[in-house]
Amino acid sequence: MNQVAKDNELLDIAKDYFQFVTKFFEVIDASAPHIYHSALELCPTSSIIRKLYYHRRIACLPRVVIGAPDSWDSTIGFFGKDHYNGLCAWSPCGRFVAAHTGAAAEIRDQLTLELITTLQPTEMVRYLTGPLAYSPDGRSIACTSNAAIIIWDIQTGGVAGEIGCGTRTISLVWSSDGQTLCIIGLKGQVTFVVHTYDVSSGTTLSSSIFESRHNPHLWTHGGFFRVMTTVRHGYYNDTIDIFEVGSALTKIRSFVFPPSKHSKAIVQSFSPATNHISISDDHELHILDIQNLERLLDADIDNSDSHCFSSDGSLFAVSQRGGVRVWTYASGCYTLLGEFRCPGLLSSLRFSPTLSSILGHSRNILRVGYLRELATAPRDCGRSFVGLSRSSTRVAIACNQENTITITDPLAQTPPQFIDVRGGG
């Protein structure tokens, strides 16, 4: 991969052939002639394979007149032999990605996702369950299990320390000087505990219990930590409280706002840099400024999974089935920047510290999308391969935008059949 990566043309060809084979493997495996009958027809117009071989197709074969995609899936991915549970982190320099499979933590190159090193837990821990995070200087990684926080020295690959915590951790953050760790653990359905630890000695510095309707958000602020919680206030309203974590929780700010008329509305993410939060239910997405309750974005979006702001608040991303949409924030509003097309629903979205990439996880696959490709990443045209007849001579193609299925026989001279599925048939 290192040799290929140095030759951009060769790398582009290799990626294109990989996308073609994996995209159309099933149809070609059933009938090799469908390389020309359907695969070349349905591959993107920018595909290198299409440019090399499309002109060799027979004129009578079915043709996509409108809606041909412009490009392949705009992310690269690594399929792990073990289970990637979506818990991953960027290095401070943005060059490396850390993720764990439960049995071990892996560090990979962000360009190729090539494995660089594997970090093993001690025999006492055995299994990793919680989030992981790089230290501010990038020399250490901390990760949690149900019993302890493990700290690895990246240069040696060995365990540099263990801190007993005894709680199911959902958030883990280093202090800006790298001397303190803060975690949030789950104690009940709406009850959480926040602990701070001295990294060098492993001693507990503080411990507090609080309640939050949605998952709380933890971040470092100066030499301290802060937590944002949400509590139901009345029938439709929520209260957002921001606390500073010290020997006890000290409330700094409190806001009351109506997030939605729907009870399923959830506060998904928070940007400390801009005081913006994202809220979604099954069909709508909103971004609000919690200081003045101004709505900065209202969008229709179905089946969203993961939301995230960049560290400086200039970018926002949300995953939905089939892709990741990215907005940019400027002059008091969010503008759609583009969309990554990728299969599955990505979780645990994270922008890189350099704001050049975004990391996510889907179906045992780590995926990295490069923001420079957003401008050319098209929206899904809604046209997809459905299946072949048993004789492998007829192909069915669905168009979601037109609610139709087209059935063609490449070997026959008869016109294609169009099936209107708007009636639910």
The closest alpha carbon to 269, from 260, 278, 257, belongs to 278
Return the pLDDT at 5: 46
* pLDDT in the model for residue 315: 95
Band of pLDDT at residue 74, cut at 50, 70 and 90 = low
Q: Is the pLDDT of residue 232 over 50?
A: yes
Tell me the DSSP string of 97-152. Answer: EEEE-SS-EEEEETTT--EEEEEPPPTTT----S-EEE-TTSSEEEEE-SSEEEEE
The residues pairing with 270 across neighbouring beta strands, listed in sequence order, are 277
**Cα diameter, the chain:** 80
- pLDDT tens for each residue of 141-198: 999 887 889 999 999 999 999 998 878 889 999 999 999 999 999 988 889 999 999 9
Look up tokens 């690959």; give the residue: 157
Q: Which residues contact 390 (CB under 8 A, 6 or more apart)?
A: none
* Least confident piece of the model among 10-19, 354-363, 410-419: 410-419
**pLDDT at 17 > cutoff 80:** yes
Answer whether residue 133 shows pLDDT above 70: yes
> What distance in Å separates the CA atoms of residue 355 and residue 359, rounded to the nearest whole number?
11
Task: Give Rg (Cα) of the chain.
Answer: 25
Residue 4, pLDDT above cutoff 60: no
pTM of the model: 0.71
- pLDDT band of residue 257 (cuts 50, 70, 90) is confident
Query: pLDDT at position 406, please?
Result: 58
DSSP string for 18-36:
HHHHHHHHHHHHH-TTHII
Average pLDDT, the chain: 79
Q: How far apart are CA 202 and CA 142, in angstroms?
A: 13
pLDDT over 50 at 392, yes or no: no
Is residue 116's pLDDT more than 70? yes
Confidence of residue 7 (pLDDT cuts 50, 70, 90): low
Domain 80-376 adopts which CATH fold?
Answer: Methylamine Dehydrogenase; Chain H (2.130.10)
Domain range summary for the chain, segments of one domain joined by +: 2-69+381-420, 80-376
Distant-in-sequence, close-in-space partners of 403: CB < 8 Å, separation ≥ 6: 420, 421, 422
Check: CB of residue 143 under 8 Å from CB of residue 136: no
Share of the chain above pLDDT 70, in %: 74
pLDDT at 205: 94
Residues 6+ apart with CB under 8 A from 3: none
Q: Which neighbouring-strand residues pair with 341?
A: 323
pLDDT at 381: 42
For 295-353, the pLDDT digits (tens) are 899 888 877 778 999 999 999 999 887 788 999 998 888 999 888 877 667 788 999 99
pLDDT at 2: 46
